[in-house]
Structure 1
């Protein structure tokens, strides 16, 4: 794998798709799901990706050369790009505080780089004392945050926005829907006052409870603990080869 020039966020200079995968003692979580998503995006976008055997060999090499107890493996594919990194990842221990981003954001079905716009949303939220922002579409439907899917407890039911609302089809979101009883339906911004509890779900954070949306405090109680345990139980790391 040849060396490539990187941007300020560690992505290859140029454009393409990427997958970010959490690892535990060198074993990635939901690797098969990530690679299926990457393949689907590559086929749709006309990006050729290396063979499965070659990718697996490179993963094993990079993981072996850069061992971490808990890590972040990033795999980038472009028309002339193939790049894998493995860095240490620090587990998040505090609940998330979210605000609302004040403008409509068009959702992205494919996980693309450069990722500057999304990082900019994070920086703007941080400047206001929040970890991330709740985004919405032109129909005023809740979509996601800059870097995570959202799951809310509304009326005693855990719900997440549909892909048709304009969200990334997240790997952990899919696990929550398929294995943990989370329902899929549009969520209008007018429903935010009815949100009892919530999670940011992504490949690194897995399931991070939300403590606040703006000034509104959410509950982190038994229902949240049960769902978090279910999601994490379905996110066991597996060997690369």
Structure 2
């Protein structure tokens, strides 16, 4: 796998140190990030990802990176990949903002924050096999809905899934309501309708989730966020039985029907299969769909 790294305005060697040993992003996970698919050299939904990075930074109380600087870093890693000794096609890009040096405690230091942009040619996941996680997501957490680098909880759940021969773990919230995957949002096709857990469940406000809701509705699909408590975790039993269907969504997966749940092979739901095609078509036509308020 090839990789390009840009830090605070400078292209760095992929193996070079880029933060100090006392950086709060390293010592306590005090940072935020975004991951984007890259198609034909263009990071998909860049404007929306930059906006969500700013939202996450604001929620965390981290100084926001200037949006022009982010775009400069994106352009720099793209150019570096194209002009490398062995040029490669970028498939994935990540923006990371960490708060900077701080004391050996939870109290944040004075920074300065560091902006890191990385790009790789790692392949996109081709299928999704999921298991139900034995843990819950705290929908009342101080960072619920924030894409934070404090990701150890997701690492533990992903390792649990890997130990079961899966590549994603689906988690409930503290009320037992369906919430999300470790790195995905989830959609359920049930009773001739597509539902996804509401943001009140504690799930991440996924970029792909939001666009799937917008574009699916525009194309006439019966799709909506569920009401609070409408999707109990037990709906996954109906998925296993074939009475309902499931798909996950993320920047690297798009909208991807579940292949397997807890070791049971699944068939794709007809509405979710249509949603997946609709998403791909709309994304191909508009690689940077700007949120309505920014148009």
Larger RCO, structures 1/2 (Cα 8 Å, 6+ apart): 1
Aligned CA distance change for structure 1 residues 37 and 70 (closer, same or farther; 3 Å)? same
In structure 2, the residue matched to 1:88 is 121
Q: Do structure 1's residue 105 and structure 2's residue 137 form an aligned pair?
A: yes
CA distance in 2, matches of 1:173, 1:78: 25
Is the 1:140–1:188 Cα contact (8 Å) retained in structure 2?
Answer: yes
Which of the pair has more CA radius of gyration? 2
5 Å-filtered alignment, 1:7-156, equals 13-14=26-27, 15-67=30-82, 68-79=88-99, 80-94=113-127, 96-107=128-139, 108-156=144-192
CA distance in 2, matches of 1:62, 1:6: 22
Cα deviation 1:197-216 (Å, max 9, x = unaligned): 21110011112210222144
Instruction: Name the stretch that deviates more: 43-52 or 17-26.
Output: 43-52
CA distance in 1, matches of 2:126, 2:131: 19
CA distance in 1, matches of 2:169, 2:20: 27
For these two proteins, the number of residue pairs brought into alignment is 234
Cα deviation 1:175-231 (Å, max 9, x = unaligned): 011221331114102222333221110011112210222144432254332111111
> Which one of 198, 211, 216 corresponds to residue 259 of structure 2?
211
In structure 1, the residue matched to 2:107 is none
TM-score by length of 1: 0.88
CA distance in 1, matches of 2:66, 2:272: 40
Aligned CA distance change for structure 1 residues 93 and 4 (closer, same or farther; 3 Å)? same
In structure 1, the residue matched to 2:105 is none
- Moved runs in structure 1, 4+ residues, more than 6 A? none
Instruction: Name the stretch that deviates more: 214-223 or 55-64.
Output: 214-223
Residue 147 of structure 1 deviates from its aligned partner by: 0.6
Q: Do structure 1's residue 183 and structure 2's residue 197 form an aligned pair?
A: no
In structure 1, the gaps of 5 or more residues are: none
Q: Do structure 1's residue 198 and structure 2's residue 246 form an aligned pair?
A: yes
TM-score by length of 2: 0.73
Cα deviation 1:107-148 (Å, max 9, x = unaligned): 531000042321221111111111211100111101001110
